[in-house]
Structure 1
Amino acid sequence: MTVTAVSRCLTLLEFLAGQSEPVEISELAGVLDMPVSAVHRLLSTLTGHGWVIQDPGSQKYALSLRMCTLAFRNLDARKVPDVVQTVLERLAAETREYCRLAILEGQELVWVARAQGAVNGLKYDPDMGQEIVLHATANGKAWLATLPEEEALGIAYSKGFGGDRRLGPNSARNVDELRVRLAETRERGFATSVEEAEAGTAAIAVPFRANPDSNARIAGTISVAGPLVRITPERWEELARALHRAAAELTEIWSLRSRQRHVSRQALAAVT
């Protein structure tokens, strides 16, 4: 399979991942800017490998659950759910808000775990499949603020500001605005997002490291989010303290996991 064909397959899978209902082949051909016959060949291959399913009645196509299964298998292999869920649930119970954890993958943050702490009134419960827009989210700014300024701004600029994303009314519109917000994040010691990623919501976030060394790489971020009427500036310091405690726990857990993996590799090498 050529690089172009692989790219088209990935584009097709990404498009189907965002659809709640099966899609006509003609619509997929429009998305890929390809003839229907060529798209049909791609779909036949993906269907044969179990990535896509075709509705027998409508003949429309949808993503199978194979990708979800592989994603959960990968998380289980990393022991991510086990090591973070207890910390997240404790944080959610303490803050009485929605808490999430994201892991750093290259120049992207990816949601991997969540816990709902709100027990009554308005509940914030966003889709875990949403992209983490770095310049508009508390999690994104919490990570970017740990980088040298030019590197952070370069990453954010490369991903664009606004575009066709449906962001909140207060999201940064350019590099200069983001520079100011990252400086504020460094000064405060935590990141905020007030109607930046989404209208009517606010969030607080901090990063956690792979080990307790202050120069250790950032492993991910952890956040508390909820309706704007509850995540008010008066609560920021209180929520930030809770987040820093949880981040310290996660850093210890990540460090332990790294040591365990190192010991396991040494033991395996000794046997072989």
Structure 2
Amino acid sequence: MSGVMERTLAILERLARDVRGVPLATLADELDIPRSATHRLLTELAEHGYVRQSRERGDYMLTTKLISLGLNYLKHSGVVDLCQPIMDRLAETAGELVRLGVVDVDHITWVALSQGARSGLRYDPDQGIDAKLSCTSSGHVWLSTMSEDDALTLVSRQGFGKTSDYGPAAPTTPTALLKAIRTARKQGYAITVDTYAAGLAAISTAISVPGRGAVGVLAISGPSVRLTEERMRALAPDLLAAASDIANVSGASPLFDRAYAPA
């Protein structure tokens, strides 16, 4: 890995995956960066308040500075204030996790959630990450809003999700993916089971605004033993209504102004 910016971002992204911290040697080896260069970048990040070293083991970890930046960004975007009540109502109806993703030109990033599961198995995913387009219901339904050529182009950039890394039913070929996309386009929502992870089910729909296209996605996710296909289809009208409500208020947040446009 070469380039100061590329290396710095790779370090931040790796540290974001382990709240307890990561040893310098592990960072250097995993990211293929010389240890001397890794130490220099970590020192600079620490000087600017983005990284600190634990007193106990000497491992490096993120400070709350990046978190604060992200939360302030979301606060000023207005997306949480606008959408949280709608998501909370849907989560209470579904009794499962509801997540909101926003389109940022060529990818979807999860920015808000509401947990409706009060007991038993609960799906508790990371926030602020990008949706895997090839093997998530959100990816499928968003891809269904564009031409199939554009959809395959975006997936080729991100890569197909391998069944060893994701779920056993994850589409791994363009043919399988296009079948899922066409089904989502016909229904107006996408349903997946065991594609992102074994035992996980989800139903998603696009948040579409006339004249702007799909600006986001709304998803209900949960354990497949509870969130069966029959249950998901029964929740589809509520999901579509909530997505429509968010679309109606989306003009008040600049975060919903990054819809994909073919090059």
* TM-score (normalised: structure 1): 0.87
The answer to whether the 8 A contact 1:157-1:175 is kept is no
Aligned residue pairs: how many?
Answer: 254
The answer to whether the 8 A contact 1:102-1:220 is kept is yes
Query: Take 2:175 and 2:79, find their aligned partners in 1: how far apart are those partners?
Result: 36
- Aligned-residue offset at 1:26: 1.6
Matched residue type, 2:112: A
Query: Take 1:198 and 1:167, find their aligned partners in 2: how far apart are those partners?
Result: 5
- Aligned-residue offset at 1:163: 4.5
Distance 1:9 1:257, change over 3 A: closer
Between 1 and 2, higher relative CO (CA 8 Å, sep ≥ 6) is seen in 2
- Aligned-residue offset at 1:256: 4.3
Distance 1:165 1:54, change over 3 A: farther
The answer for the alignment partner of 1:139 in structure 2 is 138
Residue 217 (1) aligns with residue 217 (2): no
The answer for the alignment partner of 2:29 in structure 1 is 30
The answer to which of 190-199 and 120-129 deviates more is 120-129
Query: Take 2:252 and 2:28, find their aligned partners in 1: how far apart are those partners?
Result: 48
Matched residue type, 1:59: G
Matched residue type, 1:88: M
- Aligned-residue offset at 1:35: 2.8
- Listed as ranges, the matches of 1:152-163 within 5 Å are 152-163=151-162
Matched residue type, 2:172: R
Distance 1:22 1:256, change over 3 A: closer
Distance 1:118 1:86, change over 3 A: same
Query: Take 1:164 and 1:129, find their aligned partners in 2: how far apart are those partners?
Result: 23
Q: 2:237 aligns with which of 238, 241, 266?
A: 241
Q: Which runs of 4+ in 1 moved over 4 A?
A: none
Query: Take 2:122 and 2:30, find their aligned partners in 1: how far apart are those partners?
Result: 35
Matched residue type, 2:248: E
Query: Take 1:164 and 1:122, find their aligned partners in 2: how far apart are those partners?
Result: 23
The answer to whether the 8 A contact 2:137-2:203 is kept is yes
- Aligned-residue offset at 1:121: 3.2
**For 1:207, what is the secondary structure of its paired residue?**
strand
Residue 116 (1) aligns with residue 124 (2): no
Query: Take 2:183 and 2:194, find their aligned partners in 1: how far apart are those partners?
Result: 17
For structure 2, the 5+ residue unaligned runs are 258-263
How far does the alpha carbon of each residue in 1:81-136 deviate from its partner, in whole angstroms, 9 at most, with x for none? Answer: 10110000000111121111011112111111111112333322223255411111
Matched residue type, 1:248: S
- Aligned-residue offset at 1:56: 2.6
Query: Take 2:16 and 2:248, find their aligned partners in 1: how far apart are those partners?
Result: 35
For structure 1, the 5+ residue unaligned runs are 262-272
Query: Take 1:172 and 1:15, find their aligned partners in 2: how far apart are those partners?
Result: 27
* TM-score (normalised: structure 2): 0.90
**For 2:3, what is the secondary structure of its paired residue?**
helix
Query: Take 1:120 and 1:27, find their aligned partners in 2: how far apart are those partners?
Result: 37
The answer for the alignment partner of 1:104 in structure 2 is 103
The answer for the alignment partner of 1:264 in structure 2 is none
**For 1:205, what is the secondary structure of its paired residue?**
strand
The answer for the alignment partner of 2:182 in structure 1 is 183
The answer to whether the 8 A contact 1:101-1:114 is kept is yes
The answer for the alignment partner of 2:77 in structure 1 is 78
Matched residue type, 2:141: A
- Listed as ranges, the matches of 1:42-57 within 5 Å are 42-57=41-56
Query: Take 1:93 and 1:32, find their aligned partners in 2: how far apart are those partners?
Result: 42
Query: Percent of counterpart pairs with the same letter?
Result: 34
The answer for the alignment partner of 1:230 in structure 2 is 226
Query: Take 1:190 and 1:35, find their aligned partners in 2: how far apart are those partners?
Result: 47
